[in-house]
């Protein structure tokens, strides 16, 4: 039995347009059953349908190869093939078909296909792996595309590389987070880049737009008459003491800030209330602006584990803590308020480590560090972002 297992070569065929976490689940499950096997991921090539796919065969192979976890990379081969897959399996001495099944309908369909495949030369067997992760039970390439098209969170369905590739191919949008500590210069950098883009007449596809998550939050806090936002303001008022609503139905943000930053529990509660309306406004803003490079600014992108919103692409603006304190004092914050703010945010080293840890698991993520205490060469950063857009739009690339 051990000898057979060591010689097992299996094939996992599909169109993979694109590869997603449901496919990865099937692959990983196979290796748990056969840890010493070799797996061919076979990308089916159909010239008649090539124009209907989102990605070319070359792009599919690239996206799959860069989405395979490192621990399996040496035992996985990704190949394109045009023709009857069973013929390839026979010629390459591939003993087994590997297929995933999300539900009973899938299982029934794959069982019938398995019976047909067993009649080919070599009598290949089929291993049907049921989807046991409820989060992935409805994941398909089509559903993933719908999520991206509607601006919904797809972090549980595909790696950042593939989410980014879909967003660029379907919507011509490159998402980059701009983050850093309080008063580090994030807003200034993002505004300067947008202004430089406007003044230099960047092509519409690569125009730079700055979207501040704080600014979106202020819309909700204001006396905006949208019924949902009014209901959220009333909820905040109730949850945080009942004395935050002004006569015009806006929130007293200074009072709210003092309460929210009094403890982690209070801050987490506020974030939980505000996240949904902010993401709603972000989706609307992206749809309104259309194509381009989007700088999504948020002080807590890393601490709040929201870097998936920008597909793990980050511009980090950082300054010395003493510089931050001086800038915060100029904004009217007391020494006690300043220390409280620091208590809820990462330091420069901790933030950098958190970003690199997340990016280490993903292929080709963008990480630019900016010293917010010095004058930034906006032209150089702008040029870098333009180059990154062009590289990523082509999909196939090196790091």
**Beta carbons of 270 and 163 less than 8 angstroms apart:** no
The answer to whether residue 264 sits within a structural domain is yes
Distance CA 144, CA 23 (A): 12
Instruction: Name the E strands within the chain.
Output: 9-14, 38-44, 76-81, 96-101, 125-130, 173-179, 208-212, 292-297, 314-318, 367-371
98 and 158 belong to one structural domain: no
pLDDT at 3: 46
Domain housing 120: 2-137
Whichever domain contains 151, its CATH number is 3.40.50.300
Q: What is the mean pLDDT of each run of 10 residues along the chain (399 residues)?
A: 63 97 97 96 87 94 97 96 92 94 91 89 91 93 96 95 97 97 94 95 84 97 97 97 96 94 92 96 96 96 95 96 90 86 87 96 96 94 96 91
102 and 201 belong to one structural domain: no
- Domain limit, last residue, from 118, 137, 156: 137
pLDDT at 222: 97
65 and 189 belong to one structural domain: no
Token pair for 161 = 């590389």
Indicate the SS3 state at residue 366.
coil
- 246-259 core/surface letters (b: 16 or more CB in 10 A; e: else): eeeebbeeeebbeb
The answer to whether residue 73 sits within a structural domain is yes
45 and 193 belong to one structural domain: no
- 36-71 core/surface letters (b: 16 or more CB in 10 A; e: else): ebbbbbbbbbeeeeeeebbbbbebbbbbbebbbeee
- Domain limit, last residue, from 137, 164, 191: 137
The answer to whether residue 398 sits within a structural domain is no
Distance CA 148, CA 168 (A): 10
pLDDT at 117: 86
The answer to whether residue 152 sits within a structural domain is yes
Q: Which residues contact 32 (CB under 8 A, 6 or more apart)?
A: none
Whichever domain contains 26, its CATH number is 3.40.50.620
**Beta carbons of 76 and 47 less than 8 angstroms apart:** no
211 and 127 belong to one structural domain: no
Distance CA 53, CA 61 (A): 13
241 and 156 belong to one structural domain: yes
202 and 302 belong to one structural domain: yes
What are residue 174's DSSP bridge partners? Answer: 293
Distance CA 100, CA 128 (A): 6
190 and 317 belong to one structural domain: yes
171 and 125 belong to one structural domain: no
- Domain limit, last residue, from 82, 110, 137: 137
265 and 300 belong to one structural domain: yes
The answer to whether residue 399 sits within a structural domain is no
315 and 369 belong to one structural domain: yes
75 and 120 belong to one structural domain: yes
What are residue 369's DSSP bridge partners? Answer: 316
The answer to whether residue 259 sits within a structural domain is yes
What total number of domains does the chain contain?
Answer: 2
**Beta carbons of 270 and 237 less than 8 angstroms apart:** no
């Amino acid at each position: 039995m051990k000898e057979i297992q060591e010689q097992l070569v299996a094939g996992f065929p599909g169109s993979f347009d694109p590869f997603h976490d449901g496919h990865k689940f099937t692959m990983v499950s196979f290796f748990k059953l056969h840890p010493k096997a070799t797996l061919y991921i076979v990308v089916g090539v159909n010239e008649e349908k090539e124009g209907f796919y989102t990605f070319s065969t070359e792009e599919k192979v690239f996206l799959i190869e860069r989405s395979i976890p490192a621990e399996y990379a040496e035992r996985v081969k990704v190949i394109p093939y045009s023709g009857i897959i069973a013929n390839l399996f026979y010629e390459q001495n591939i003993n087994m078909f590997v297929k995933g099944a999300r539900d009973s309908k899938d299982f029934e369909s794959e069982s019938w296909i398995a019976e047909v495949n067993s009649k080919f030369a070599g009598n290949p067997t089929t291993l049907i792996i049921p989807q046991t992760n409820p989060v992935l039970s409805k994941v398909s390439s089509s559903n993933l595309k719908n999520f991206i098209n509607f601006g919904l969170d797809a972090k549980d369905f595909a790696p950042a590389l593939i989410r980014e590739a879909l967003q660029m191919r379907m919507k011509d949008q490159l998402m980059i987070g701009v983050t850093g500590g309080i008063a580090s210069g994030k807003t200034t950098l993002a505004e300067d880049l947008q202004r430089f883009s406007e003044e230099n007449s960047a092509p519409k596809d690569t125009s730079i737009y700055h979207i501040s998550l704080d600014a979106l939050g202020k819309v909700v806090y204001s006396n905006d008459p949208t019924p949902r936002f009014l209901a959220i303001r009333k909820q905040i008022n109730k949850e945080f003491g009942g004395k935050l609503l002004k006569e015009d139905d806006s929130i007293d943000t200074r009072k709210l800030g003092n309460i929210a930053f009094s403890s982690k529990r209070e801050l987490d509660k506020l974030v939980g209330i505000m996240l949904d309306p902010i993401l709603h406004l972000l989706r609307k803003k992206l749809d309104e602006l259309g194509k381009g490079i989007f700088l999504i600014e948020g002080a807590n992108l890393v601490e709040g584990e929201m870097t998936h919103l920008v597909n793990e692409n980050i511009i980090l603006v950082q300054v010395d803590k003493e510089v931050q304190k001086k800038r915060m004092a100029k904004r009217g914050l007391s020494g006690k308020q300043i220390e409280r703010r620091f208590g809820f945010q990462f330091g420069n080293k901790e933030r950098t480590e958190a970003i690199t840890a997340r990016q280490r698991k993903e292929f080709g993520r963008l990480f630019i560090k900016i010293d917010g205490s010095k004058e930034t060469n906006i032209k150089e950063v702008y040029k870098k972002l333009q180059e990154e857009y062009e590289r990523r739009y082509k999909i196939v690339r090196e790091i």
